[in-house]
Structure 1
Amino acid sequence: MKKILILICSVSIILGLLPTSPIHAATVNPKKLLEQKYPREVVTVSKSVDLNGDNKKEHLLITDSGNFYLINAKGVIVLIDTNYYSDEEPTIHILNISAKEKHVAVTLDYLPSNTELLVYKYQNGTLKKKLSVMGDVGINISKTGEIMQLWKSHYPEGGWEIAVAHYKWNSKKDKYVGSGELPR
């Protein structure tokens, strides 16, 4: 009995001394994980989602300093972009492109009516920017991932009307393809 107890204690001590692997790091609170590595960063927006269908969640975080981070399923923290400032809190959207593919969209609102949209595709443990548009009037995103950009088409003599551009993901071209009235 003493030998078993000593063996259990020894194994638990040895396991306690081993460094935590990145895979275990991904299971902890993503906000705390980011704040441990970057103590000055304060997370204001976060979302956790399985982006690639591997049943492991990736974590998306935007901080009060305007930085956008991804913590992938292996627990690796990746700085995706900076200067994510807006008049209202940024919003993270998940676009269901297909049963196996999801994209990450971030909207940044600027008063009185402008909305900037940045769309990313998850590739090789990071996010790659695939679309960046500004909606003078607004941006609408459908559940299927189609994006509608509402912008001001100005008349030469003054004034404007609302123009509408549509963007849809084309997997063969690996990009969003625009149709309708695209901004010049």
Structure 2
Amino acid sequence: MKRVLALLCVVAMFGFILNPSYVDAATVNPKTLLEKKFPRERVTVSKSVDLNGDKKKEHLLITNSGNFYLINSKGVIVLIDTNYYNEEEPTFHLLNISSKENHVAITLDYLPSNTQLFVFKYQDGTLKKKLSIIGDVSINISKTGEIRQAWKNYFPEGGWDTAVAYYKWNSKHDKYVGSGELSR
């Protein structure tokens, strides 16, 4: 009786491992996983990072159609946002806000000098947008996560001066707080 029960357990475990619906996110290529679920999508930019400090990687992917996806450490695919395409490839940046909190920033460069920035916070198994700005002169991100936006402040009579705004994460208010000359 014990042998029969042990044999049934082995067969059940073997069947579970070979079951195609079982996905181990750590061993599956995230690009392959996304393209299998969405056959018309082609991944153009990807990055794998540990966003929540659990020592398991989450995967960030942008496709040729401009869709931005997150695949969490359990293999669940989440559409985060759309319209992430331009002539240059988008760039992922990881902002280390604290030892337990990382934010994801995406920059889209539009030649000759415009840069669009989106910043997301990993929260409740997904990414929530916390900041969206355009720097028509430049955008710089420091190692501490402070964001510097340089933009053109136009004069009514023509011409412009460079205006500078700074954004820093405020965990108490759960948002980025701006200082300096904020764009209108």
TM-score (norm 2): 0.91
Local SS of the residue matching 1:97: strand
CA distance in structure 1 between the partners assigned to 2:94 and 2:14 by the alignment:
42
Match of 2:156?
156
Match of 2:132?
132
Distance 1:52 1:13, change over 3 A: closer
- Contiguous gaps of at least 5 residues in structure 2: none
Deviation per residue, 1:92-128 (Å, 9 max, x gap): 1000001110000000111111000000000011000
Cα RMSD between the aligned structures?
2.0
* Cα distance, 1:20 vs structure 2: 4.0
Q: Which amino acid aligns with 2:16?
A: L
Match of 2:16?
15
Match of 1:141?
141
Which aligned pairs between 1:13-162 and structure 2 lie closer than 5 A? 13-22=14-23, 24-162=24-162
Q: Which amino acid aligns with 1:91?
A: T
Q: Which amino acid aligns with 1:110?
A: Y
Aligned length: 180
Q: Are the aligned partners of 1:26 and 1:71 in contact in 2 as well (CA < 8 Å)?
A: no
* Cα distance, 1:155 vs structure 2: 1.1
* Cα distance, 1:9 vs structure 2: 7.6
CA distance in structure 2 between the partners assigned to 1:9 and 1:114 by the alignment:
60
Local SS of the residue matching 1:34: helix
Divergent runs of 4+, >2 A:
6-22
Q: Are the aligned partners of 2:84 and 2:90 in contact in 1 as well (CA < 8 Å)?
A: yes
TM-score (norm 1): 0.91
Q: Which amino acid aligns with 1:80?
A: I
Q: Are the aligned partners of 2:16 and 2:22 in contact in 1 as well (CA < 8 Å)?
A: no
CA distance in structure 2 between the partners assigned to 1:33 and 1:27 by the alignment:
11
* Cα distance, 1:162 vs structure 2: 0.7
**Identity within the alignment, %:** 73
Deviation per residue, 1:137-167 (Å, 9 max, x gap): 1100001110000100111111001110000
Q: Which amino acid aligns with 2:28?
A: V
- Contiguous gaps of at least 5 residues in structure 1: none
* Cα distance, 1:47 vs structure 2: 0.3
